[in-house]
Structure 1
Amino acid sequence: MEKHQQQKHDEAYQVLVLPYPIQGHINPMLQFSKRLASKGLKVTLITTSKSMQPSASSIHFHSIDFQEAETTTGIDEHIRLYESLIPARLAQFIEKHQIYSQHRAKVLVYDSCMPWALDVAKRLGLQGASFFTQCWAVNAIFYHLKLGTLKVPSEEQIRTNAVVSLPSMPELEISDLPSAAYDNSGSYPGLWNLIRRQFSNFQEADWTFCNTYDKLEHQIINWMASKWPIKTIGPTVPSMYLDKRLQDDDDYGLHLFKLHTDLCIEWLNSKETGSVIYVAFGSIAGLTEKQMGELTMGLKSTKKHFLWVVRETEQNKLPSNFIEETSEKGLVSWSPQLDVLSHRAVGCFMTHCGWNSTLEALSIGVPMIAMPQWTDQMTNAKFVVDVWEVGIRVKKDGNGIITKEEIQRCVREVMEGERSLDIKRNSEKWRKLAIDAVDDGGSSDKNIEEFVAKITCN
């Protein structure tokens, strides 16, 4: 009898987590899974690639077959195949899991860009928790688009970069909105639809989580919470860089590219404190050859040390002999970003302002030079500069190029100018608030505790 009661108690502890299968979405949901596991839950993270299974001893991983992805030729084709095949395969896995697993699943935590996952969960008797991997400022913009309180900008508004006013937010220019909110050029229509559909049924979910922290977006979170019960659970950065409460949690455990950790850290160790520019623009978007040329000349002209992450597929855009010519000042290598950002030698982060990179910089306290490319990066950059005041944003010339002179100006202002001291102070402030949020009794920690308490009660 006691054994049976214990088994029934354990059954309530099982949670399934389904991220969209790209690194920028797997990482935050994996970190959330680690937090849940640290509080006693049994967590299974579901992937669609055996090669993308991260290393985390506290988490169980299950791979759903998706061999068809190997033959896809682009983002939109991958999305189409994923959405046509994975829902049924997910349902089959859950059904078998509920029959054969010692710990029956009670909740499916799913990436918000897959609203169909909620239908699968409900049909099979599970609660559904929608997980937003972007900030609430971006979520609020898409929420307003769904409600119709924000119209898709007209060509005239886009051309004149008109101002947009939304509740609880600073005034935004069209260029501050996520590009998916107004890009009707036909580029990546599948991706744009994926982004826009996140709010199609989120109000039917039992839980709504977001990878941010309350002090960071206080006004927006309060406004959204007045419409729907939302929970902040971030920042989802490995515990070693925040509260240090999760043992051995010093890395995401998932990397799409080979890291040159020893090379990078040894090089950084030889540099003075705060002397290095760290440059990284993510794993997807690429710069034009002309823009790469301006960036190389701009970095050279600063006379400062720089560590630049350039994918192998992008290195052919570098000017010939650039790496050799700058070997005394620069290093071009795929780097362990968290190790680099937390190194004493790094003085600023030139970033595309992807949300994960932005949260990492905020959590570690590194000033930023914002160089957004697309999607939510435009909005993140706006908040980095004008709301959180932890960096500056590059300005394009009349041809849409960021010149070498502009790059030199931004580096000088962040690392040497009068604003640099204020930016550093603000960076330290947001770092401390990030730690407070996930530490014992912090706002994000309390929200996670509440989730655990409710799903473990029968």
Structure 2
Amino acid sequence: MDNVNLHIVVFPWLAFGHLLPFTELSKRLARYGHRVSFISTPKNIARVFPKLPSQLSDLINLVEFRLPIVEHLPEDVEATIDLPSDGLRPYLRRAYDSLDHQLRLFLKTALPSKPDWIIVDYAAHWVPAIAEEFDVPCAYFSVVNAAVLGFIGPPASLMGVSNSRTTPEQFAELPEWVNFPTTVAYRGYEAQEIFEQEALRDGSGVSETYRFGKTIQDCQIVAVRSCSEFEQEWFNLLEQIYRKPVIPVGLLPPLQRETSFEEEWKSTMNWLEKQTQRSVVFAAFGSEAKLTSAQTREIAIGLESCGLPFIWALRDSSGLPKEFKKRVDGRGEVLTGWVPQSQILAHPAIGGFLTHAGWSSIIEGLGLGLKLVLLPLVFDQGLNARHMVEKRISMEVPRDEEDGSFNGDGIAKTLRLVMVDEEGEAFRTKVEECREMFGNEELNDQCVRDFLKYLSDHKRNSDSSKMG
């Protein structure tokens, strides 16, 4: 690759759905010989970089910023997964915003070279202005796909300047800037929650939608965790509504898949070895949503009645039906606490994935050729689910349109249809086609190379630094 070596700062938001994609991107940038300064808090850095790959250790600089003490925020909280309740999220955002002084100091003293670019997350709406003080351009890296960005809209709408959404109902409708037919939109029960969580000003001082809009507006380019082969129409739309370069950086599946298990997981490994290839369902619902007791009970009923072997990664087992584990003994395993999801998903016995439709989980599942059943719970997950169903890649668990509730029977029927029933053959064929795209390392590498070429061609002290 003929790019000159760059110094790139990456600054993710404090949630695992953001930290992990930023980590994957950092590793890929470093693989091409570029220096990366990865900024986060001490606990998060230890979580996502427990050990730096030896070939990258000289290129990735782990920079620890300590979160300031903020009223209402417990001292040991450094990521959303640490929060005892969702109501404390605004205070974590406030603490994150208070890292501005440490960022200024880092940029002022960055050695041995001033950064060529800063890659920021949506929440860091204040970073581009600081970067401008040091004459460093910014790229916004979106961990959500182009369809989600297209639906949430242009910066002016997100910031409340024009065409802004002022009611929950507007989140359940196709916005006027989307100029092609699509079913990508929130359902009514999702729209109310999204409006309250995202569109209203919170305890941090601004709304989540404002953060998105301000960051997109003030960055020179937008980089998206996706590829044009998957959603070209949405990339075209983003170019129109952002009026700046929008660059796919690839799907960024995990670079190194560990297939060995630690000692504590040997019994799970032994159980998997006894199962037929592609027969087992893996169920997991991410780090952000906390299942209610009612939801846990219905998922349990669905997994029990579907008749398929399964592994369920469950953070809190208190909502399980009485004697559930005894009834499924031998056919199903319930794992609590931290679970080695990537290793389990990569096992040849796993054939299906009952998931919350987080973009990272969809990418990982399709990259491995797994059949997906989607049960979206929060944030962009509903939009992801509509997107995947529209492309006939997966199926969504049936829900009550009024309150979003679901039942075990709907889960069981959807799992069987996608995994084994004759009517699901079209989905299984489509998944194999997607595997060629989502698991294609050459495609992902080419996206990263194209992104790096743009960064090299448009760094500020380059002769070609006129932003396109």
TM > 0.5? yes
SS in 2 for 1:215: helix
Cα pair 2:45 2:64 within 8 Å, conserved: no
Task: Report the Cα offset of residue 273 of structure 1.
Answer: 1.2
State whether structure 2 residue 389 is matched by structure 1 residue 395.
Answer: no
User: Corresponding residue for 1:411?
Assistant: 415
CA contact (8 A) 2:257 2:343 kept: no
Cα separation, 2, equivalents of 1:94 and 1:184: 33
* Amino acid corresponding to residue 167 of structure 1 in structure 2: N
Identify the range of structure 1 (392-401 vs 211-220) with the bigger mean alpha-carbon deviation.
392-401
Q: Which residue of 1 aligns with 2:313?
A: 309
3-state SS, counterpart of residue 119 of structure 1? helix
1:194: Cα distance to partner? Answer: 2.7
Q: Which runs of 5+ in 2 are unaligned?
A: 78-83, 464-468
- Between 128-137 and 49-58, report the one with greater CA deviation: 49-58
- Structure 1 residue 127 corresponds to structure 2 residue 137: yes
Q: In structure 2, do the counterparts of structure 1 residues 331 and 416 end up closer, same or farther at CA, with 3 Å as the change threshold?
A: same
One-letter amino acid matched to 1:61: L
Aligned partner of 1:250 in structure 2 is 257
Structure 1 186/104 Cα, relative in aligned 2: closer, same or farther at 3 Å? closer
2:207 is the alignment partner of 1:211: no
- Give the TM-score, by structure 2 length: 0.82
Please state whether the residue corresponding to 1:409 is helix, strand or coil.
Answer: helix
Q: Does the CA-based 8 Å contact 2:147-2:184 persist in structure 1?
A: no
Shift in alpha-carbon separation, 1:325–1:451, aligned structure 2, 3 A: same
Deviation of 1:375 after TM superposition, in Å, equals: 0.9
Is 1:141 paired with 2:173?
Answer: no
Q: What SS class does the counterpart of residue 331 from structure 1 fall into?
A: strand
Runs of 4+ in 1 over 6 A off after TM superposition: 176-180, 184-188
Distance 1:430 1:293, change over 3 A: same
2:244 pairs with one of 228, 236, 240: 228
Q: Does 1:18 align with 2:11?
A: yes
Q: Structure 2 residue aligned with 1:266, among 250, 265, 270?
A: 270
Q: How many percent identity over aligned positions?
A: 22
Deviation for aligned residue 1:362: 2.3
SS in 2 for 1:21: coil
Answering whether residue 91 of structure 2 is matched by residue 77 of structure 1, we say yes
Distance 1:109 1:184 in 2: 25
Equivalent residues of 2:366, 2:439 under 8 A apart: no
Change in 2 beyond 3 A, CA 1:193/1:404 = same
Q: Distance in 1 between matches of 2:291 and 2:43?
A: 31
Q: For each residue in 1:75-105, what CA deviation from the matched residue of structure 2 results, as whole angstroms up to 9, or x when unmatched? A: 222112221x2111111122122xxx22332
Displacement, 1:281? 0.5
Quote the Cα distance in structure 1 between the aligned partners of 2:183 and 2:162: 18
2:52 to 37, 56, 65: 56
Query: In 1, distance between residues paired with 2:395 and 2:193?
Result: 23
CA contact (8 A) 2:437 2:443 kept: no
Q: Does 1:376 align with 2:380?
A: yes
Which secondary structure does the structure 1 equivalent of 2:229 belong to?
coil
Cα deviation for residue 436 of structure 1 reads 4.3
Output aligned runs, 1:79-94, within 5 Å: 79-83=93-97, 85-94=98-107
Q: Tell me, in whole angstroms, the C-alpha distance in 2 between the residues paired with 1:264 and 1:321.
A: 20
> Hey, what's the Cα distance between the residues in 2 that align with 1:67 and 1:250?
35
Do structure 1's residue 43 and structure 2's residue 44 form an aligned pair?
no
CA deviation map 1:250-295 (0-9, x unaligned): 36xxxxxx99544433322221012111100011212221221121
2:126 is matched with which residue? Answer: 116
Provide the alpha-carbon RMSD of the alignment: 3.0
- What is aligned with 2:254? 238
Letter in structure 1 aligned against 2:233: Q
Distance 1:179 1:365 in 2: 34
Give the TM-score of the pair, scaled to structure 1.
0.83
State the secondary structure of the residue aligned to 1:216: helix
Match of 2:333 in 1: 331
Structure 1 residue 163, shift from structure 2 partner:
5.9
The residue identity in structure 2 corresponding to 1:231 is I
Match of 1:167 in 2: 179
Q: 1:342 to 1:190 in 2, by over 3 A?
A: farther
- The corresponding residue for 1:352 is 356
C-alpha contact 2:68 2:95 (8 A) present in aligned 1: no
User: Does residue 202 of structure 1 match 2:204?
Assistant: no
Structure-1 residue corresponding to 2:427: 423
Where 2:9 maps in the other structure, the secondary structure is strand
Quote how far apart the aligned CAs of 1:184 are.
6.7
Partner of 2:466: none
Any conservation in 1 of the 2:356–2:376 contact (CA below 8 Å)?
yes
1:106 Cα deviation after fit? 1.8
| Pairwise CA distance, 1:439 | 3.8
State the alpha-carbon separation in 2 of the partners of residues 169 and 444 from structure 1: 30
CA contact (8 A) 1:370 1:381 kept: yes
The CA distance in 1 between the partners of 2:304 and 2:375, in whole Å, is 18
Cα deviation code 1:166-193 (max 9, x no counterpart)? 2245134541877665347999945892
Counterparts of 1:148 and 1:181, CA distance in 2: 19
1:417 alignment partner AA: D
